Structure 1
Amino acid sequence: MSFAPDNRQGLLHVPAGTGLTKWVSGDIYTMKSTKAETCGSLGFVEAIVPPGSGPIAHAHTDEDEAFYILDGELEFLDGDRTFVGRQGDFVFIPRHRRHRFKNITEVPTKTLFLFTPAGPEDLFIEGGDDPRPGEQPVPWDMARVEQVMDIVQRTGLVVLPETP
């Protein structure tokens, strides 16, 4: 059996404990694969979501997103309803669907999430903060989101904040 050649250079192997780490929306994101590394196929992120942390509600115009919760719990917004995802749960979010996740517990949550096709992770890479030893990431408010709005728009995100 033969397969048509493509422009990939072989397998992508990202050893445990490696990958570019950025602080985004108060979370710690480690990129395991990006648009550049997968020819646009898949963005894959390992995340630690501290208590009270998570992104502002948004939708993706061109990508689907999926989560697998490794440890802990996250509250998900699905349109206008919320539900809690727990350890071992899988959550699929189709493109154009308003969503967000938030850690409403007292302990950090560890999750994996991915984008297909890749692309939104560019916001984390370009707009995220570099980790600072001895400090903790700070949740983003709308003023911080405004600072990276050019990247938000370029990556096809639509910010859809919740009203109190």
Structure 2
Amino acid sequence: MSLGVHLDKDAGEAWWFLDTRMTIKADSATTNGAYTLLEFTAPRDFGPPRHVHHGEDEAFVVLEGGLRVECGDDGWDVGPGGFVFLPRSVPHAFLVVSGHPVRALQLTTPAGFEHFVAAVGAPAAGAGLPVPAAPDVPALAAAAARFHTEIVGPPLSSGPS
């Protein structure tokens, strides 16, 4: 069993994952497989495709900015201090709806989501967010399948501006 862990603000292994910055705060090794904790930053109008995690539950705590989250037939606007739990096997998606990037904590249990981030992303090459780019959806879906996640629909739409 690992011993306690301490990370200062901005510490942790940082990855550019899709259009986000994911900083690993706790992973499989530090939690003995219990959970993965990430701090993420995502730009306005970012949202992953609607997807289903078949092997893990996911939760967010929004620190700055705002998200529109849909889980099954439910939907919520989640602002600073807000929490949302997304159970495994239920389709869900989110969209950054604030006028500036969102910063949030993401908890997945059991641990292992950090391996998906590494398989799809790249080590952050600097501070801030990556240059926005359209995802390679077939490659993303293939990687997701290796981690018991299924892409089941498009990202949420921000609608007409």
Please, what TM-score do these two structures have when normalized by structure 2?
0.85
Q: 1:51 aligns with which of 4, 24, 44?
A: 44
Aligned equivalent of 2:106: 113
Q: Deviations over 1:55-84 (max 9, x none)?
A: 111111111111101111001122245321
Aligned equivalent of 1:138: 132
Tell which structure's C-alpha radius of gyration is larger: 1
User: Within 5 A, what are the aligned runs for 1:41-120?
Assistant: 41-120=34-113
Q: 1:159 aligns with which of 148, 151, 161?
A: 151
SS at match of 2:115: helix
Q: What residue ranges of structure 1 are gaps of 5+ in the alignment?
A: 1-7
SS at match of 1:122: helix
Q: What residue ranges of structure 2 are gaps of 5+ in the alignment?
A: none
Q: Deviations over 1:70-111 (max 9, x none)?
A: 111001122245321111111011111111111123211110
* Runs ≥4 residues deviating over 4 A: none
Q: Distance between the aligned counterparts of 1:23 and 1:120, measured in 2?
A: 14
Count of paired positions? 155
Q: Shift of the alpha carbon at 1:162?
A: 3.1
Q: Quick one: structure 1 residues 13 and 140, their matched pair in 2 at CA, closer, same or farther if it must change by over 3 Å?
A: farther
Q: Are 2:67 and 2:95, in contact at CA under 8 Å, matched by a contact in 1?
A: yes
Q: Are 1:28 and 1:47, in contact at CA under 8 Å, matched by a contact in 2?
A: yes
Q: Shift of the alpha carbon at 1:156?
A: 1.1
Q: Distance between the aligned counterparts of 2:30 and 2:143, measured in 1?
A: 19
CA RMSD of aligned residues (A): 2.1
Q: AA paired with 1:78?
A: C
Q: Distance between the aligned counterparts of 1:9 and 1:81, measured in 2?
A: 38
Q: Are 2:2 and 2:30, in contact at CA under 8 Å, matched by a contact in 1?
A: no
Q: Distance between the aligned counterparts of 2:133 and 2:139, measured in 1?
A: 14
